[in-house]
Amino acid sequence: MRVLVTGGTGFVGSQIVAALVRRGDTVRVLRRASSSLVVLDGLEIEHFLGDVLEPEAVARAVTGCDLVFHAAAVASYWRAQREQVYRVNVEGTRIVMAACLAAGVPRVVHTSSVAAIGIPRDGRPADETAAFDAVSATFVYADSKHRAEAVVLQAVARGLPAVIVNPGAVYGAGDHNLISGSMVLEFARRSVPLVPAGGLCVADVEAVVQGHLVAAERGRVGERYILGGENLTYLEIATDICAVVGRRPPRATVPAWTLPPAALAVDALNRLHIGPPVVSGEQIRMAGLNVFYDSAKAVRELSYPLLPFRRAVETAYRWYREHGYLN
């Protein structure tokens, strides 16, 4: 089988590539000339130079493919301009879906995010039927991924056999862009006394990759599947990470009511700062919420494995040590 992976030099995309190579597929990666290849080292793949915003490059890459995984996106949204996030995540998706339709690709899997589903209103884990909420619509990453899903569903309505998967916050080996993995490094380098009061749906990258592969085989066209793992508070997340990296866990949480004014201060500082922000006001605002999700549909229909968070942290920490991030 000939398979294209957009975003194949990123975290989740590169792990999809590695899994496809292991099972014997012919794998193409659409990438920019400047992309780091650290996570693709030693893999026998076809390199197509280009960008998801370049229709001709995308058209060349999808031609002759039996399957396309569209995993390209701006995930480190706090380091990017708002316009870039929408351009890549929404318009890039539009270009990829149009190319797949034109080429008659038999199967497409679109990597979305639980952020596109929205924030649970009643505190209970949300499933795929949750309504996208007004707060999430103000959050650039969530809104861009929600709009990208709408683009995919428009293509489905025109006959594209596409499936959507919604990973949680993904941890594991290979996160060289330091998306979720930045938390592992932060706790490995120093003791952190306080964490926010909210929580996240966290997932092991190995489970997320398996979810992608099975979604390609038997996911229902036009459906979305949450690929999560454990729903943990930030204090529980920090405690697990500290147990792995050998640090004392945080002793308390920052009250949720303090986060909105802190976010305003961070936004003001970022406007004065030259260069990509270390953290954004959006991240701080969201950190006081319990953003939990239910993976039952993926478990039921895709035999999705719910792997423990501690395992993902262990593999992430080992990968960072082996690749010199802690030297």
Residues taking part in catalysis = 141
Cα dihedral 222, 226, 227, 233, rounded to 10, equals 160
Tokens matching residue 171: 């941890």
What the block records as the tokens of 205 is: 């990258």
Q: Cα-flanking dihedrals φ and ψ of residue 104, to 5°?
A: 70, 40
29 vs 37: CA distance, rounded Å: 11
C-alpha distances out from residue 100 to 30, 103, 150, 157, 230, Å: 14, 5, 16, 13, 34
73 DSSP 8-state letter: -
Q: Residue 187 and residue 202: Cα distance in Å, rounded?
A: 17
Largest CA-CA distance found in the chain, in angstroms, rounded: 56
Q: What is the DSSP string of 202-250?
A: EEEHHHHHHHHHHHHHHPPTT-EEEE--EEEEHHHHHHHHHHHHT-PPP
CA dihedral sign of residues 45, 48, 53, 58:
negative
Contact 172, 270 (CB under 8 A): no
* 265 Cβ contact list (under 8 Å, min separation 6): none
Name the β-bridge partners of 196.
254
E strand or H helix at 321, and its extent? Answer: helix 309-322
